[in-house]
Amino acid sequence: MDESADPMEESGRTVTSDEEEVEETVAEDMARFQESFVGINKRFRLINRIGEGSLPHSTNHPYQALRIIIVS
């Protein structure tokens, strides 16, 4: 796998662990989250949001993610 490639772009879609489509609003939130952390998509693949922030109007959402390990 090309390390410079975005792992999320390989499949062209975001899916949960059981291959169900992620809600569009959740996918947009995950994309914004990934844009805020340079290089995070090379280390982790976000799968889905698994909760909501505890504060009103909070943006701290827990996400389910897979750690990407590159074996050379």
pLDDT higher at 13 or 20: 20
One-letter amino acid of 46: L
The pLDDT value recorded for residue 7 is: 47
Report CA 21 to chain centroid distance, whole Å.
13
Tell me what the mean pLDDT of segment 10-18 comes to. 48
Strand partners, 66: 45
Residue 65 DSSP class: E
The pLDDT value recorded for residue 51 is: 82
